[in-house]
């Protein structure tokens, strides 16, 4: 169904078309707000990143709906609400250096890159890493570095991070991963079995240890060890 054109004067028409975002983007923002996302910087970043450019052409029409969608290699681009929620829970600051495990389409990395200084994103599928890198370059997200690698084995040379986000479900957090977090740092990860109950966990590193908090139940593809043999 289409809405009938409104009868407006030409000046008003010009104003409406140049100022108002397309209806699907307005609905997108509205659904994020309704579900409780209130951080303005996060909402702005979500609005600015063209999600339709991160999905396969056959899914473009549905790109602004609040649903996860399939991408190559049997993986998924996360549901926008979950992307916004995890991003908000990270309490990002402009100077942060952030590690993402699970680049997938590169969409979440793009959102994060608008809010922090540097994003390092690791993906175990070569096809996904190459495509995400190319897409992010094309869209001028210059502060994201996409690496082909295993998030369970981040090389020591990568340094430490103010924030870490894991976008594939791990059965448990590992100490080597927690050790990559700077003091004062925050990590968010879905924890749980591949086909069972997964819970989003937030870990804060304090001077004298780690504080762990369960947030909400979620559904993510599993984190698997090693670089994928399949392309
Ligand atoms: N953040 C992505 C969605 C990620 S889906 C986006 O915005 O599109 C989860 C991704 O994690 C998948 O692409 C999967 O291949 C990847 N992954 C799973 N285990 C991994 C590991 N050990 N290291 C790196 N990436 C991993």
Q: Per-residue confidence at 23, pLDDT binned at 50, 70, 90?
A: confident
Q: Which tokens in the block code for residue 199?
A: 């819970």
> Looking at 78, 105, 113, 121, which residue is catalytic?
78
Identify the pLDDT of residue 230.
Answer: 78
Q: Which tokens in the block code for residue 105?
A: 């389409």
78 tagged catalytic: yes
Q: Is the CB of 63 under 6 A from ligand 1?
A: no
pLDDT at 67 over 70: yes
From the CB of residue 213, how many other CB atoms can be counted at a distance below 10 Å? 10
Ligand 1 pocket test target in 124, 200, 219, 227 with most atoms within 8 Å of CB: 124
Q: What is the atom index within ligand 1 of the atom nearest the CA of 109?
A: 7
Distances from the Cα of 112 to the Cα of 3, 13, 14, 103, 230, angstroms? 35, 35, 33, 11, 28
Residue nearest to atom 10 of ligand 1 (CA): 102
Identify the pLDDT of residue 7.
Answer: 41
Walk me through the domains of the chain, giving residue ranges and CATH numbers.
Answer: 66-219 (3.40.50.150)
Q: Is the CB of 76 under 6 A from ligand 1?
A: yes
Q: Is the CB of 78 under 6 A from ligand 1?
A: yes
Q: Is the CB of 131 under 6 A from ligand 1?
A: no
- Residue 163: closest CA among 102, 101, 227, 82: 101
**pLDDT tens-place string over residues 99-128:** 999 999 999 999 999 999 999 999 999 999
Identify the pLDDT of residue 20.
Answer: 65
């Amino acid at each position: 169904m289409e809405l009938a054109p409104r009868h407006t004067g030409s000046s008003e028409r010009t104003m409406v078309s140049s100022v108002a975002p397309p209806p699907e983007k307005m609905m997108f923002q509205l659904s994020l707000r309704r579900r409780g996302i209130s951080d303005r910087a996060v909402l702005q970043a979500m609005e600015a990143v063209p999600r339709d450019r991160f999905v396969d052409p056959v899914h473009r029409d549905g790109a602004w709906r609040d649903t996860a969608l399939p991408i190559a290699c049997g993986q998924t681009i996360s549901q926008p609400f979950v992307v916004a929620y995890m991003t908000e829970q990270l309490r990002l600051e402009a100077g942060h250096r952030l590690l993402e495990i699970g680049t997938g389409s590169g969409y979440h990395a793009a959102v994060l890159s608008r809010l922090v200084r540097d994003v390092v994103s690791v993906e175990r599928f070569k096809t996904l890493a190459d495509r995400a890198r190319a897409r992010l370059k094309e869209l001028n997200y210059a502060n994201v570095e996409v690496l082909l690698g295993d998030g369970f084995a981040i090389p020591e040379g990568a340094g430490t991070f103010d924030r870490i986000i894991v976008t594939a479900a791990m059965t448990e957090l590992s100490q080597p991963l927690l050790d990559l977090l700077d003091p004062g740092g925050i990590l968010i990860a879905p924890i749980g079995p591949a086909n069972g109950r997964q819970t989003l966990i937030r870990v804060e590193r304090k001077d004298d240890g780690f504080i762990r908090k369960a947030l909400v139940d979620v559904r993510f593809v599993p984190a698997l060890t090693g670089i994928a043999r399949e392309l």
